[in-house]
Amino acid sequence: MAETAVSSSSGLAAAQPAPATSNSLLNAITSRLVIIVPYLWLLFFFLIPFAIVFKISLSQTAIAMPPYTPVFGVDGFFDALSQLNFDNYVWLTEDALYFNAYVSSVIIAAISTFLALLIAYPIAYGMARAPTTIRPTLLMLVILPFWTSFLIRVYAWIGILKPEGLLNQVLLATGIIDEPLIILNTHIAIFIGIVYSYLPFMVLPLYSSLEKMDYSLIEAAQDLGCPPISAFWKITFPLSLPGVVAGCMLVFIPAVGEFVIPDLLGGSETLMIGKTLWNEFFNNRDWPVSSAVAVILLLLLIVPIMIFQSAQARAQEQGR
């Protein structure tokens, strides 16, 4: 639009010079504003906060409020540099708690992502092969739970998974088990919670990549002598890989830092980094250490986030 504004001003200049110039100036300004306003907002409320987190992670704990000694300010940048200390990071490496929390977060998130993929794929595949008339309805049904509160959906599972909960009642009544299963406050409950909460995020990208696929490709494979299951692995699955990658990233990245699910379903024993950060912040009121935890979590997620970004960018390029 910027280029158009310039060219139209020169085009109109001969006919009606005065208003055209002021108009095009206005247009040039508004077209700049379109970029500048959201840009500045995100810089101030998204990027700068990260810089602050990073800064504070390098400062010392103080008892006073706010509970850290400021490392930056008008005193000058070099002054600040000399005061940097990595105590908080040293602290993180010395205490096995943090290391274990990171590792177990990644493992739990990875297993949950894989389970979500296993469950979501047949759903997305079924949706993509559904008659075109009912596809929009199916799509809406997948999205609908997402509009209800995340907290509520996690909370609903407590009543189901408790030892005296609905699942155990059903299983005991039907005689499948003799003793109630202990699921709540275990990793299994966390897996269920993550898979359940993030399932739409997995189904949607899978569906959109499967739906785009030309069904005659599968017929062509079969025509050339490939049985259906083999055709799935040789044609359908490879072609749905962009959806698989996008879906896995959409589940894995937030799941690593998940707080509500491990807190409500995982019990006090569970070690996940989001929960550790929360406790460090709200219970121990140690802002520098929680900032350091956040910085490392971010570093951990930077590769998956970049994968997600480039997948998004590629999808955008293809969309043009």
Partner 1 sequence: MSGNWSRFNIASIVLGFAFLYLPIVLLVIFSFNESKLVTVWGGFSTKWYVSLFHNQGLMDAAWVTLRVGVISATVATVLGTLAALALTRYTRFRGRILFSGMVFAPLVMPEVITGLSLLLLFVAVGFDRGFLTVTLAHITFSMCFVAVVVQSRLMTFDRSLEEAAMDLGAPPVKTFFQITLPVILPAIVSGWMLAFTLSIDDLVISSFTSGPGATTLPMKIYSQVRLGVTPEINAACTLMIAVVAVGVIAASVANKRREVQRARDEQAAQRG
Partner 2 sequence: MNSLGSIRRSFAPWNDPNAKPYIAFENVTKKFGDFTAVNNLSLSIFEKEFFALLGASGCGKSTLLRMLAGFDEPTAGRILLDGQDLRGIPPYRRPVNMMFQSYALFPHMTVEQNIAFGLKQEGMPKPDIEQRVADMLKLVKLTQFAKRKPHQLSGGQRQRVALARSVAKRPKVLLLDEPLGALDKKLREETQFELMDLQQTLGLTFVVVTHDQEEAMTMADRIAILDKGEVMQVATPAEVYEAPGSRYVASFVGNINMLEGTVAERTENRARITGASGAEIVVENAGDAAAGNTVAFAIRPEKIKVSSRPPAQGTANVMEGEIYDLAYLGDMTVYHVRLADGQVLKASALNSSRVTEDPLTWNDRAWVSFAPDAGVVLTR
Q: How far apart are CA 286 and CA 293, in angstroms?
A: 11
Give the CA count within 13 Å in the CB-facing half-sphere of 94: 7
CA distances from 155 to 2, 141, 163, 237, 260 (A): 50, 20, 15, 35, 9
Q: Hey, what are 232's tokens?
A: 């799935």
Q: Which does 238 bind (CB under 5 to 8 A by kind): partner 2, partner 1, none?
A: partner 2
* Buried b or exposed e, range 140-150, using 16+ CB within 10 angstroms: eebeeeeeeee
Q: Which does 210 bind (CB under 5 to 8 A by kind): partner 2, partner 1, none?
A: partner 1
**HEC sequence for 3-14:** HHHHHHHHHHHC
Site for partner 2 in 219-248 (CB under 8 A): 219-228, 230-231, 234-235, 238-239
Q: Which does 224 bind (CB under 5 to 8 A by kind): partner 2, partner 1, none?
A: partner 2
The number of residues that bind partner 2 (CB under 8 A) is: 19
Q: Quick one: which of 202, 201, 204, 206 has its CA closest to 237?
A: 206
319 binds partner 2 (CB under 8 A): no
130 binds partner 2 (CB under 8 A): no
Q: Which does 281 bind (CB under 5 to 8 A by kind): partner 1, partner 2, none?
A: partner 1
94 binds partner 2 (CB under 8 A): no
Nearer to partner 2, 32 or 234 (CB): 234
Nearer to partner 2, 94 or 219 (CB): 219
216 binds partner 2 (CB under 8 A): yes
- Residues at the contact surface with partner 2, assessed by CB under 8 A: 214, 216-217, 219-228, 230-231, 234-235, 238-239
